[in-house]
Each structure stands twice: as structure tokens, then as C-alpha cells.
Amino acid sequence: MNPSASQINVFKPETIVSYEAGLKGEWFDRRLRTNLAVFHVDYRNLQISQFIAGSEGATANIVNAGKVAYRGVEAEITAVPVRGLTLDGSIGYTDPKYKTYLYLDPATDTVINVASEARMSQAAKFNAHVGAQYEQDIGLGTLSLRADYSYRSTVYWFTLDRVSQFNRDIRSRPDHNLRARIALDDIAIGRAKLGLGVWGDNLTDQRNIDFGIDFGSLGYASASFKMPRTFGVDARITY
């Protein structure tokens, strides 16, 4: 039962059956590590939240949409080609397919199956990451340099465009993010150690939506955007 709904909202329990297989390996005297996993998930009575608005106000109901198969693959790699240098990367792909998505059509007052047009909300099909870090003791402390690039494909916030009319407008487009950090750690100060860092995030200054809300029949939507190019300095002391 959903206590936040304006009326009694009863729904069935959601069940999940998942399968996963993986392979981990270490190579070249542990200088190269790999991790591969494939998975398949079956949802039954998938629970989703539907926004509802009317003369009595706005609320959200939890309903059982139907069945969905969620499958994908993930791979990770870490390499240490030379002392002090670490390279890492990951890639992931998911392919959700709705088998059944039941929807009460307000025009005909009948329940129809709209699985062919349903999207997996708040989930990206593809994501990737590559990073590099170098560390070197320079006497005064340990100097480290780190750079990361990540990619994420399009994310839709809602499942049905016919319910969320602004779903395509407020979607988060493919997102690229580049960040870097330079730090000097383990600086001796008496019995304590000082760490100083300078960092930057979203260095390409990409403007993209990071979350959206579609108010459906109220006729409007809202969205928030990711932080613009940002720089910062941090410091920490450990005893």
C-alpha cells in the first residue's frame, strides 16, 4: 500500500529473478587485472510510480506495470605498466526489454499492453570510463596526478511518452565528463601529515540535464542541470 497517495493504492509485490556469470583474472605478475560479468534479470509485477493530477490536486500512485527482462555486460580493467602509473577503465551495456506493460487508456477506459513503447526509466544503456593516475615520492611528500573521463548514454526519466508528454524534452542527453586532480600528500608537520589538492570537474563545461520532472496533465515540466566547469582546493590533516 502507498500511504502518500490521495486514495487507497494497493499493488502486488514485485519479484526479481537474476542470473550472473563472471570471470576475474590477474596477469603479468598482477600488473594487469580484468573482470568480466554478464547478467540477466527478470522482473514480474514491476512496480512503477505514475504521476496523477486532477481537480483534487496532484499525487503519485504505485502500480504494477508488468514484466521486463534486463540483461547486460560489464567489464573492468586495471593495468600498472610502470612503477607509479596506474591505468583503469570500465565499460557497461544494459538492454532492458519490456515483455508486458499494462496501461489503462483513459480514452477507451480499457487496459492495453504498451510494452513496445515503454522505456527503462533512469537507466543508461551504455556507460564507459577511463582513468590514469601517477604517484611519485618527491621527498617533501607524495605527488599524485589523476585524470578521469566518463561517458553515459541518454537517460529518460519516465517510462511512457504518452503519459509524460515532455519526456523527450527533459531527457538527459549523452553525457561526457572530464575531471582531474593534482595532490601532494604525506607532508610531515610534527606528528601529523598534511595533504593538499587542486581539482577540476566538468572541465569541458558541458551543459546537460541531470534530472527532470514531468507533471503530465498539468502541462509543464521542470529540469535541473549539472554543475558547470568547477575548480576547487582541498586540504586535510591526519594524525
DSSP three-state, residue 115: helix
Local structure of residue 218 (DSSP, 8 states): G
Do you know the residue count of the chain?
Answer: 239
Find where cell 496523477 sits.
52
pLDDT tens by residue, 72-120:
999 999 999 999 999 999 999 999 888 888 888 878 888 889 999 998 8
Other C-beta atoms closer than 10 Å to the C-beta of 100 total 16
pLDDT recorded at residue 76:
98
Distance (Å, whole) CA 220 – CA 239: 53
C-alpha cell at 42: 527478470
| Across 10-38, average pLDDT | 93
What is the residue-averaged pLDDT of the chain?
A: 89
| Across 24-32, average pLDDT | 95
Other C-beta atoms closer than 10 Å to the C-beta of 48 total 19
pLDDT tens by residue, 199-235:
999 999 999 999 999 887 788 899 999 999 999 999 9
Q: HSE (CB half, 13 Å, CA atoms) of 132?
A: 6
pLDDT recorded at residue 58:
57
pLDDT recorded at residue 181:
98
Closest C-alpha among 82, 89, 90, 91 to residue 31 = 82
Other C-beta atoms closer than 10 Å to the C-beta of 158 total 25
C-alpha cell at 11: 499493488
pLDDT tens by residue, 143-198:
999 999 999 999 999 888 988 889 999 999 999 999 999 999 999 998 899 999 99
Local structure of residue 84 (DSSP, 8 states): T
